Amino acid sequence: MNGADAESVRPAAGVRRGRSLLTRVGAVFLATTVAVGLAAVMLSAEIVGRQRHQDLLHRAGLVAATQADALSGPVWELDDRTAQSMIEALIARDTAIRSIAVFESSRSAPLAESALPPIGRAPETVTIERPILRRGHDGREERIGLLRLVYSTGEVAEATWNALVPVWGLLLLSLLTAVAVLALWLNRALLRPLIRLTQLSRAMTRGEYGSRIDIDRTDEIGVLAESFNRMAETVQDHTRTLEDRVRERTEALAQTNRAIMDSINYAQLIQSSILPAPDTLSEGLAEHFVLWRPRDVVSGDFYVCRPVGDGFVVGVADCTGHGVPGAFMTMTASAILNNVLDQMGADDPAAVLAAVDATVRATLHQGGAARSLTESFDNGLDLALCHVRPDGRRLVFAGARLPLLVVGPEGATEIRGDRHSLGYRQEAGAAPARFTNHAVRLRPGQTFYLGTDGLADQNGGRLGRSLGKRRLREVIARTAGESLDRQKEAVEELLAQFQADRAQRDDITLLGFRVRLAEAERNAGTGSTAAGNAAAVSTAECAA
């Protein structure tokens, strides 16, 4: 098996691989054969041992009968010497005899006896007794003594073992031959096809659905191979069909997505057209920067800068939602704001906010509590609006939940907006929201910032917390003496480092500007000793 095949049959990660089938079958076969062989050997040993024991008894009986006849003369004559020499000669000839004793009938003590000394553990013995008879002249037999032979059965065990040694050798040789033949047969007939099936199965898991196995057999392995080939063909057909369908639907979705994105991109162009052009911003502002980053292609934030009779208006708005819904709200809110400014002017920003509040609520039919599911939506906006009069050295600010940050030589001051949003539903009979004007005297060196909450709420950093106002103000304070273009770069660097690879959370809008003052006012402001860069000179409240 080559390297590729070896790699393909490795067990998958997390799957415990046990012993191979050949090992298990061989182990079972070996255990069974050994058990059967041991049983056969033990049975053979029992049979052979019994046969050898019977042979020993038969031989002992013959020896005892022959020797008893030979000893009848010496016993009758009480010739103990002859009897002793005869039994010693017998014990020397037959190694199985452990002892011999000859008794005369009238005495209890043996006439002659001989015994071999014990060697090691005493073996088992068997005793044979034969009477010694003398035939008289009248033909009758008379018992004149007793011959006692003690035989050792040790040679029975030795003879049994010697007889079984060839059987053991033949059994071991047969066992090894059978195991080798079985292993070769299993490897050829069973394991190789199974390994090939395993390789092809893993190839299918890698997406190679053209894998097939070629086995010309009709047994179970052949049936398994045929079933695998049919399964692989079915999977390949289904996969091709599924891939074709996925490809078709992907192309359809891509076309739909392109159409949607084309529409959204065109909507971005439309939304961008309502934003003030750079020339418009530069006409009334000495310097400015705009950081406008939609979370999606289109935004729910917008900013405004337009001239009015005695100055210009600067504002930032954050509408409900983001993306396409937010963009619809920006178009609606921008049109309403411009209409209100056209009708009322910009002298009273608080009154403008009140009018926008009432108009948005009326336009979206949010005059009371929702009476049905279709009326359950609730939309509106937060708005910060500044009326700037450079000739009058005056800025009037009114805010609906959005603040104005003023940074000058004396430090930074935040003028908070009122805690009311615009356009959202109110309880029936609730009093209209009231907004407050804040007047700021314009001096040289002042910078003003309007922004939505998207920048401060952007999460990031090591703990994923919000960026917050403190970090933003630190960057603004550090770059207060630099150009606004440089301030914008510093804010963008802060946002990029803090956000890192996290997704943008909301639409982001930050507008910074410096007012172009008359030369005489700049000189007068330089010599002024008045303190504070956010002196409120008038306050007015307007109801919706």
DSSP 473-501: HHHHHHTTTS-HHHHHHHHHHHHHHHHTT
Phi, psi of 238 (to 5 degrees): -65, -40
Give the pLDDT of residue 31: 82
Task: State pLDDT tens for residues 107-161.
Answer: 878 888 888 877 666 678 888 888 988 877 777 888 888 888 888 877 777 777 7
- Contact, 147 vs 68, CB < 8 A? yes
Q: Is the pLDDT of residue 8 over 70?
A: no
User: pLDDT band at residue 369, thresholds of 50, 70 and 90?
Assistant: low
Class of domain 22-164: alpha beta
Over its C-alpha atoms, the chain yields an Rg (Å, rounded) of 59
- Contact, 452 vs 507, CB < 8 A? yes
Sheet holding 110-115, edge to edge: 110-115, 97-104, 141-152, 125-135
For residue 358, how far is the Cα from the chain centroid? Answer: 55
pTM of the shown model: 0.59
The HSE-up count of residue 24 (CA atoms within 13 Å, CB side) is 5
3-state DSSP call for residue 213? coil
Give the pLDDT of residue 543: 35
Task: State pLDDT tens for residues 163-186.
Answer: 777 877 887 788 788 878 877 877
- Contact, 353 vs 422, CB < 8 A? yes
Structure letter (DSSP) for residue 368 = S
Give the pLDDT of residue 520: 38
* CATH superfamily ID and name for 276-364+379-425+434-515: PPM-type phosphatase domain (3.60.40.10)
Q: Is the pLDDT of residue 533 over 50?
A: no
Pairing of strands 411-415, 459-460: unpaired
Distances (CA, A) of 163 to 32, 128, 130, 187, 243: 24, 26, 31, 38, 76
The rounded distance, in Å, linking the Cα atoms of 59 and 137 is 31
Give the pLDDT of residue 542: 37
User: pLDDT band at residue 12, thresholds of 50, 70 and 90?
Assistant: very low
Give the pLDDT of residue 376: 67
The rounded distance, in Å, linking the Cα atoms of 99 and 82 is 17
Give the pLDDT of residue 372: 61
Task: State pLDDT tens for residues 340-355.
Answer: 999 999 999 999 999 9
| Helical pair 220-274 and 192-205, crossing angle rounded to 10 deg | 10
Q: Is the pLDDT of residue 439 over 50?
A: yes
Beta-strand runs (E) in 261-410: 285-293, 301-308, 311-319, 381-389, 394-400, 404-408
Task: State pLDDT tens for residues 22-62.
Answer: 677 777 777 887 788 778 778 877 787 788 778 878 888 88
Task: State pLDDT tens for residues 220-276.
Answer: 777 787 888 888 888 888 888 888 999 999 999 999 999 998 999 998 999 999 999
Q: How many CB atoms lie within 10 A of CB 281?
A: 20
